[in-house]
């Protein structure tokens, strides 16, 4: 039986130029056996640097415009932790980051958000946390913010929507969180620690048309499909991942044999 409490899902679409995130996540003040790092590569790139530093590494073998949501769902399926965290794979995570998540879920069932502060400067080589915190940051609310939920809740809400409008750069698993909030799970923002994100190619929301699906639209860089789901009170995704659907059906707790018969009644 796994002893992991937390699974951290990190995404790449063969675009990451550096992997300092893994170094910061290796320097947490929580013992490493309590959390795992899952690296989801949308295409087929394999980095030996990453491979040596994560617990699970998957290549999705996608072609054409990448689909981050499909990669997130695969990470949720693979996760061994009770909690799943979805966050930037090129950010700086202070040493109390993992502990702040575990503490938040000790007694509560929540949607946990961490502020991500975004610098207009590039990542400083060999930087200490004290030096990083001296940079001038601009908080861009919820865009790129880190989020954590119970794995059971992620599965129970149908995972992340795999609708075609989420293909490309204008994606974000926040749409799953908003559907969880629609179902009555409270959203909580963690005051500390903050996460720090540095400027890199494509980080300023200036993606060209080739990096977006024709069906995608945005509201202040939030995918319009996700905003509409939030506004309408939608609970399930428009397109549910088949493995998530299977797990969602399997985790139902049914009280009687009569109901079990109906739960799997042939069509």
For 1-14, the pLDDT digits (tens) are 568 999 999 999 99
Sign, CA torsion 138/139/143/145: positive
CA distances from 24 to 15, 20, 168, 183, 218 (A): 19, 7, 27, 34, 32
Using CA atoms, how far apart are residues 259 and 261, in angstroms rounded to an integer? 5
Using CA atoms, how far apart are residues 194 and 189, in angstroms rounded to an integer? 10
Pick the closest to residue 189 from 85, 115, 84 (CA basis): 115
Cβ-contact 98, 167 below 8 angstroms: no
Residue-level pLDDT at 95: 96
Q: Could you count the other beta carbons within 10 Å of the beta carbon of residue 89?
A: 21
Using CA atoms, how far apart are residues 41 and 13, in angstroms rounded to an integer? 6
Q: Which residues of the chain have pLDDT under 50?
A: 205
Set out the domains of the chain in order of their start, with CATH numbers.
6-263 (3.90.550.10)
What residue spans of 55-164 are helical by DSSP H?
68-78, 97-104, 129-133, 151-156
Helix, strand, coil percentages for the chain (3-state, nearest 5)? 30, 20, 45
Cβ-contact 146, 85 below 8 angstroms: yes
Q: What's the burial of 211, exposed, middle or buried (CB within 10 Å: 0-12/13-18/19+)? A: middle
pLDDT in tens, 27-62: 999 999 999 999 999 999 999 999 999 999 999 999
Angle ∠(93,244,21) on CA atoms, nearest 5: 15
Q: What's the burial of 251, exposed, middle or buried (CB within 10 Å: 0-12/13-18/19+)? A: exposed
Residue-level pLDDT at 244: 98
């Amino acid at each position: 039986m796994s002893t992991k409490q937390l699974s951290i899902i990190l995404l790449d679409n063969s675009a990451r130029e550096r992997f300092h995130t893994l170094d910061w996540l290796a320097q947490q003040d929580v013992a490493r056996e309590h959390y795992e790092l899952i690296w989801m590569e949308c295409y087929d790139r394999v980095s030996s640097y990453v491979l040596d530093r994560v617990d699970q590494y998957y290549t999705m073998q996608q072609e054409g415009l990448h689909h981050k949501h499909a990669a997130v769902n695969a990470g949720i399926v693979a996760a061994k932790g009770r909690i799943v965290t979805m966050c930037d794979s090129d950010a700086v995570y202070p040493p109390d980051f993992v502990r702040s998540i575990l503490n938040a879920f000790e007694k509560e069932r929540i949607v946990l958000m961490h502020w991500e502060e975004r610098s207009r400067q590039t990542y400083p080589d060999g930087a200490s946390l004290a030096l990083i915190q001296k940079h001038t940051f601009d908080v861009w609310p919820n865009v790129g913010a880190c989020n954590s939920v119970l794995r059971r809740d992620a599965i129970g809400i149908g995972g992340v929507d795999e609708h075609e409008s989420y293909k490309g750069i204008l994606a974000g698993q926040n749409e799953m969180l908003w559907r969880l909030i629609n179902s009555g799970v409270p959203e909580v923002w963690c005051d500390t620690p903050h996460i720090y994100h540095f400027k890199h190619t494509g980080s300023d929301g200036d993606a060209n048309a080739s990096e977006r699906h024709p069906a995608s639209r945005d509201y202040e860089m939030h995918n319009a499909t996700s905003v509409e789901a939030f506004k309408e009170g939608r609970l399930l995704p428009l397109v549910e991942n088949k493995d998530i659907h299977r797990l969602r059906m399997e985790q139902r707790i049914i009280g009687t044999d009569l109901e079990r018969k109906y739960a799997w009644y042939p069509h």
